[in-house]
Structure 1
Amino acid sequence: MASSMSLNILEAQKNAVIRMLNLSTTSDASVPLSAHTSSRSGGAWSEGSVTWKVLLYDKECQDRLATLMKIGSLRQHAVTLHLSIEKERSPVVEAPAVYFVDPTEDNIQRIVSDLEKGLYHTYYINFSSPVSQGLLDALAKGTVQASSVLKVAKVCDRFLSFVSLSPNLFSLNMGRAYEELHGNEDSRIEACIERIADGLLSVVCTLGQVPVIRYPQDHASQLVAERLSAKLKALLGRKTAHGTQSLFAASSSQRPCLILLDRDFDLSVMIAHTWLYQALVHDLLGLRLNQVTVPTEDPGGGMGGETMAPPKPKKFDLDHSDALWAKHAGSDFPNAAMAAHEALNEYNTKMAQLTANRQGAPDADFSTSDISSALNALPEMTEKKRSIDSHTNILTALVNEIKARQLDKFYEMEEGFAGSGTAAAATRELEALIRDRNKGTIKDKARAVLTLFLLKPSLTSQQVEQLRGALRDVGADSELRALDFLQKLSQRKNMRESSQMTELSANPSAGGALASLAARVGDQVSRGLLAGVKQLLTKRQLLVTKAVGELLEQKAGGHFFESFAYMDPRAAALGLGPEARVRSPFRQGIVFVVGGGNYVEAHALQHTLGGPEGKQIIYGATELTSPCDFVEELERLGGASF
């Protein structure tokens, strides 16, 4: 269970996984489901107090582990083999096996098959979310039939069915959730709501605090809130009924507020082009699970008149342990490029100093302390060089994409859509951009049209058809179905009449703040990197920051405070009435978007409301969906009956 004083979802989940790997027989983040606990955990694979073990996972849990631990970290916790449960495996009969899997029928069958084959010495079975009684009965029956009851050391729920991407960012890794929730199959919608509630239950249990829940009524988030509240009340009741160790802090003066939002709350931010570093890496290079693959130039290619070797794909890790990434992932792209340039200069200066100190001193004067100092600096310098090389390659790949598609033109135009300009002027400007075959892909142009449709409620049907015709003329086909869906959605929900989508912040000089960036970068390489890329600054204030700020401050009379429903599972479990409502401002907030989220909103919340003196905020979503993937969801919905 995490400390009540801090909201760090990554640290809390990592600690829970470490307890699992350490074969903990008691855990404040798990609920034992089997009364049998065996002390025979090691066999010949035990060395003193260390028990070497095999870790088995399914694809979903492999993704959850990927952002928490590298291979070296697993070895630190005595994991000598880590394998997919979905593949054929050889017996390791002297080692205990730690299973970390989703509670599914297929996984139960795989575990029973392993028991029948006697693959391992003992079995620690950990489910990522609560296992149903039916699946638990199937596991028990299979264990008895395999004559392996005494080999099963533990079966428990771990409440870890989510992916932590940073200390304040998580995803349920549920692709196409928006599409599922807007579909016509009730069974699929029901299953989606259940998965979301289970995922949020895992987040809440891992953090160790029962939150107050705020949500808009008559939306999917209401169903999620009701389902989550029922699950929380059941867990709180289980403590009283069965005496099990509490998953939650007994009391806290800093209970968080869980704010649920539906994706329809603001669709434009999912589609529009962005200028933030991490969001660009996600949009253009396919950032996933804190990893990105980019083409890198072969340093040895093209020498001596030889043909230049084609770029080779290289994978880079981007997480909070990278200091430059941690500081500038939410920065505007040119600022991030400048930071990488400054880091390179700092590295070169430091290396030059170390070299000068060594070359300028006689061997007799180069003391043991000098040698020790140089050796101590080596790991830090090596890590800095790795980070700089990574960001140089990533920034170069981004610049190549931006220049090839002239994405700064799209971003600049879309930023203006939320301003005071007329719909007619915006339509003319966008139509000219669409018909310019040297700018952008068809998907870029479709995204711009969708963004204008969402941000300009005054857009007439004639102007929409004018833009539709321009898209059709440049080869758009499936992209037009996304526009069909938004038009149907606006008719059904009166969506476009909400003028609260986004607005320009009062920062008229922001664009000029970076206008001289290239001139201020005193290195020829950096000027070359940014040449031809417009120096722009994000200017829009997102609706999510307004809503979350108002709800956390408990501003009575405000639109969101009054329209969002209030639910307190802890008070309900204790039988308390409305008078027990929390009325003081919340210091901690968990913001979750049902139907897909994005890095732009995540960073906007931290920049606007977070910080050392601000709120502690965690942002999460069913999935962090790239703009192109989200548009494809809209396309499929537009092609189906709605």
Structure 2
Amino acid sequence: MCLMLKIALENQYGRLLHSDRDPIPDVPAVYFVMPTEENIDRMCQDLRNQLYESYYLNFISAISRSKLEDIANAALAASAVTQVAKVFDQYLNFITLEDDMFVLCNQNKELVSYRAINRPDITDTEMETVMDTIVDSLFCFFVTLGAVPIIRCSRGTAAEMVAVKLDKKLRENLRDARNSLFTGDTLGAGQFSFQRPLLVLVDRNIDLATPLHHTWTYQALVHDVLDFHLNRVNLEESSGVENSPAGARPKRKNKKSYDLTPVDKFWQKHKGSPFPEVAESVQQELESYRAQEDEVKRLKSIMGLEGEDEGAISMLSDNTAKLTSAVSSLPELLEKKRLIDLHTNVATAVLEHIKARKLDVYFEYEEKIMSKTTLDKSLLDIISDPDAGTPEDKMRLFLIYYISAQQAPSEADLEQYKKALTDAGCNLNPLQYIKQWKAFAKMASAPTSYGNTTTKPMGLLSRVMNTGSQFVMEGVKNLVLKQQNLPVTRILDNLMEMKSNPETDDYRYFDPKMLRGNDSSVPRNKNPFQEAIVFVVGGGNYIEYQNLVDYIKGKQGKHILYGCSELFNATQFIKQLSQLGQK
């Protein structure tokens, strides 16, 4: 919901609840807030201070009766009862990042983080709070969607706890026919309503390698290596040196922010593309723009309009159809130039990371590890190479190797790896946690399968290495991806297509519309689902999202939404693993 209005517009037209505000007694006020104790207190204070003419109260999630009574009492005491015009529960406690992607809207991200859910010292009460927070957001999501899902989840995980609570919450709402939020979606339809969506709840612990994986697609790379949050990327740009009495010195870095939104056609087309293709497309767009710009200049010259007097151009435009077309396309041309500049800057920043850290080498090597392909280079060689990546890159690589291994390395080999990692400057706390996790999950005997993903290097020089290219791709492999389903996508495919597979055969089945409250059995008719929502309890990433997007392209008439309790990149995830690994 937060992204439906640009932040700039919010700043222009909105005010934060806790900012100092002067009374405007002849103006109505619209509130859009979470029903927290602090927010309710401030709203009551506004009523007492008679700040506005009338009050329209919109709560992001449902407000409790006791808090509603607090507002009523404050309005009564302030003689402002008639001024409270409307009170709405909006059920919008989630953030839509894409048309097919959402995350929980929680101001305290730590509350629903992977670390919070997997802390060894978490109490039952704390876990209940975490689960209730996730369920509240999911309930809001399905109220907004206007559909009651069929729920599937793995057993013995946090995802199962969410499923049980969500099933109960949906069931209770449906039971109250007069006040049900799912209007037109009645109990009578039952399991024979074939248009209902499937909700697949998966636990982050089914696949810890993917969030650590070095990626190769544009959007996932931007999220991995740049400061990218809520569809806004922040870049630091320096422009050469400046002269001063003390001599030449680097100029201060300028911070620039860019919004990567659905109206950005280049972003929409290429966010899921391999990076070399993106670099090539930026170059092609730039050449196309220059050709159009040169054509406008040529037409100006022909008609004796060397200057920039657009008024003169307008007067003469009816003389030449071409000039008319050129002039009318100027706004489009300027927007095209803006997007080219934007993606040139963003792609250049990404490329700097790729070249400085050899991210193409890491990506290709990790793909081979995860697909059990023969490795052409020793893992120790990469870890020990001072020019190959940061300490964090090396730790990510080793953790993927450790998680994906059919058999854990011997103690002697492990000590050798740990020494190399320590010498490279790595913090070993994440490894400590992964060792505990793997032992607990018995992953040594049944490691997660990542299929037979392969990458095909198309030569060390990309086609973008033509003369005058904005991107010097020399030394960066032009790796072409072969589509292969990641674990989350594979689980979805099994459940959406109602396939029998040992990986998902024991997944629990819940139908909140069924009268019986206990675990329902999978119906015999086994009709495939047309729509599904995948929700990862414990955090998701753009790699999984893109894998699902690529998967559904080959499924005509089907739709998938991807959601997660938090959206993290590898740096943020490895920090949580490090905290869990501390003794």
Under a length normalisation based on structure 2, what TM-score does the superposition of the two structures give?
0.88
1:379 to 307, 331, 335: 331
2:114 to 163, 172, 178: 178
1:533 to 476, 484, 497: 476
Tell me: CA distance 1:401–1:122, structure 2 relative to 1, closer, same or farther (3 Å).
Answer: same
Q: Give the secondary structure class of the aligned counterpart of 1:460.
A: coil
Give, in angstroms, the shift of residue 441 of structure 1.
Answer: 1.3
Is 1:488 the counterpart of 2:425 in the alignment? no
Task: Tell me if the contact between 1:417 and 1:455 (Cα under 8 Å) persists in the aligned partners.
Answer: yes
Task: Tell me if the contact between 2:280 and 2:464 (Cα under 8 Å) persists in the aligned partners.
Answer: no
Q: Which residue of 1 aligns with 2:175?
A: 237
Q: How does 1:123-138 map to 2 (within 5 A)?
A: 123-138=55-70
Task: Tell me if the contact between 1:209 and 1:248 (Cα under 8 Å) persists in the aligned partners.
Answer: no
Q: Which residue of 2 aligns with 1:69?
A: 5
The AA in structure 2 aligned to 1:206 is T
Give, in angstroms, the shift of residue 193 of structure 1.
Answer: 0.7
Q: Give the secondary structure class of the aligned counterpart of 2:514.
A: helix
Q: Which residue of 1 aligns with 2:231?
A: 290
Q: 1:499 & 1:448 partners in 2: Cα distance?
A: 17
Q: 2:516 & 2:261 partners in 1: Cα distance?
A: 39
Task: Tell me if the contact between 1:291 and 1:318 (Cα under 8 Å) persists in the aligned partners.
Answer: yes
Give, in angstroms, the shift of residue 572 of structure 1.
Answer: 3.7
Q: Which residue of 2 aligns with 1:430?
A: 379
Q: 1:260 & 1:145 partners in 2: Cα distance?
A: 46
Is 1:193 the counterpart of 2:131 in the alignment? yes
Q: Which residue of 2 aligns with 1:626?
A: 569
The AA in structure 2 aligned to 1:511 is K
Q: 1:414-435 CA deviation, whole Å, 9 max, x = no partner?
A: 112124357xx79x82222222
Tell me: CA distance 1:173–1:130, structure 2 relative to 1, closer, same or farther (3 Å).
Answer: closer
Q: Give the secondary structure class of the aligned counterpart of 2:447.
A: coil
Q: Which residue of 2 aligns with 1:455?
A: 404
Task: Tell me if the contact between 1:545 and 1:609 (Cα under 8 Å) persists in the aligned partners.
Answer: no
Q: 1:300-337 CA deviation, whole Å, 9 max, x = no partner?
A: 979xx976634422101112211111111111111111
Tell me: CA distance 1:552–1:517, structure 2 relative to 1, closer, same or farther (3 Å).
Answer: farther
The AA in structure 2 aligned to 1:208 is G
Extract unaligned runs of 5+ from structure 2. 306-314
Q: 1:579 & 1:492 partners in 2: Cα distance?
A: 30
Tell me: CA distance 1:282–1:582, structure 2 relative to 1, closer, same or farther (3 Å).
Answer: farther
Is 1:353 the counterpart of 2:295 in the alignment? yes
Q: Give the secondary structure class of the aligned counterpart of 1:590.
A: strand
Tell me: CA distance 1:374–1:495, structure 2 relative to 1, closer, same or farther (3 Å).
Answer: same
The AA in structure 2 aligned to 1:354 is V
Q: 1:635 & 1:71 partners in 2: Cα distance?
A: 33
Q: 1:164 & 1:483 partners in 2: Cα distance?
A: 34
Q: How does 1:1-150 map to 2 (within 5 A)?
A: 64-65=1-2, 67-70=3-6, 81-150=13-82
Q: Give the secondary structure class of the aligned counterpart of 2:472.
A: helix
Is 1:159 the counterpart of 2:91 in the alignment? yes
The AA in structure 2 aligned to 1:322 is D
Task: Tell me if the contact between 2:509 and 2:520 (Cα under 8 Å) persists in the aligned partners.
Answer: no
Tell me: CA distance 1:299–1:435, structure 2 relative to 1, closer, same or farther (3 Å).
Answer: closer
Tell me: CA distance 1:301–1:380, structure 2 relative to 1, closer, same or farther (3 Å).
Answer: farther
Q: How does 1:212-231 map to 2 (within 5 A)?
A: 212-231=150-169
The AA in structure 2 aligned to 1:366 is S
The AA in structure 1 aligned to 2:337 is K
Q: Which residue of 2 aligns with 1:604?
A: 547
Tell me: CA distance 1:565–1:285, structure 2 relative to 1, closer, same or farther (3 Å).
Answer: same
Q: Which residue of 2 aligns with 1:558?
A: 501
Q: Give the secondary structure class of the aligned counterpart of 1:530.
A: coil
Task: Tell me if the contact between 1:165 and 1:171 (Cα under 8 Å) persists in the aligned partners.
Answer: yes
Q: Report the number of matched residues.
A: 558
Is 1:549 the counterpart of 2:493 in the alignment? yes
Q: 2:268 & 2:397 partners in 1: Cα distance?
A: 30
Q: 1:566 & 1:397 partners in 2: Cα distance?
A: 46
Task: Tell me if the contact between 1:268 and 1:455 (Cα under 8 Å) persists in the aligned partners.
Answer: yes
The AA in structure 1 aligned to 2:346 is I
Give, in angstroms, the shift of residue 614 of structure 1.
Answer: 5.2
Q: Which residue of 2 aligns with 1:410?
A: 362
The AA in structure 1 aligned to 2:399 is L
The AA in structure 2 aligned to 1:553 is E
Is 1:595 the counterpart of 2:532 in the alignment? no
Tell me: CA distance 1:379–1:247, structure 2 relative to 1, closer, same or farther (3 Å).
Answer: farther
Task: Tell me if the contact between 2:283 and 2:464 (Cα under 8 Å) persists in the aligned partners.
Answer: no
Q: 1:246 & 1:288 partners in 2: Cα distance?
A: 33
Q: Which residue of 1 aligns with 2:312?
A: none
Give, in angstroms, the shift of residue 380 of structure 1.
Answer: 1.7
Q: Which residue of 1 aligns with 2:310?
A: none
Q: Which residue of 1 aligns with 2:423?
A: 473
Tell me: CA distance 1:81–1:324, structure 2 relative to 1, closer, same or farther (3 Å).
Answer: closer
Tell me: CA distance 1:308–1:460, structure 2 relative to 1, closer, same or farther (3 Å).
Answer: closer
Q: Give the secondary structure class of the aligned counterpart of 2:479.
A: coil
Tell me: CA distance 1:154–1:265, structure 2 relative to 1, closer, same or farther (3 Å).
Answer: same
The AA in structure 1 aligned to 2:495 is L
Q: Which residue of 2 aligns with 1:335?
A: 277
Q: Give the secondary structure class of the aligned counterpart of 2:132.
A: helix
Task: Tell me if the contact between 1:453 and 1:464 (Cα under 8 Å) persists in the aligned partners.
Answer: no
Q: Give the secondary structure class of the aligned counterpart of 1:488.
A: helix
The AA in structure 1 aligned to 2:135 is A
Extract unaligned runs of 5+ from structure 1. 1-63
Give, in angstroms, the shift of residue 626 of structure 1.
Answer: 0.9
Task: Tell me if the contact between 2:204 and 2:538 (Cα under 8 Å) persists in the aligned partners.
Answer: yes
Q: Which residue of 2 aligns with 1:39?
A: none
Tell me: CA distance 1:307–1:634, structure 2 relative to 1, closer, same or farther (3 Å).
Answer: closer
Q: Give the secondary structure class of the aligned counterpart of 1:275.
A: coil
Q: Give the secondary structure class of the aligned counterpart of 1:315.
A: strand
**Deviates further, 339-348 or 569-578:** 569-578
Q: Which residue of 1 aligns with 2:259?
A: 317
Give, in angstroms, the shift of residue 133 of structure 1.
Answer: 2.4
The AA in structure 2 aligned to 1:215 is C
When you count helix as a share of all residues, which structure comes out higher? Answer: 1
Q: Give the secondary structure class of the aligned counterpart of 2:536.
A: strand
Give, in angstroms, the shift of residue 516 of structure 1.
Answer: 6.4
Q: 1:505-528 CA deviation, whole Å, 9 max, x = no partner?
A: 3x5xx514x3365246534324x4
Is 1:271 the counterpart of 2:212 in the alignment? yes
Task: Tell me if the contact between 1:124 and 1:154 (Cα under 8 Å) persists in the aligned partners.
Answer: yes
Q: Give the secondary structure class of the aligned counterpart of 1:559.
A: coil
C-alpha RMSD of the superposition: 2.9
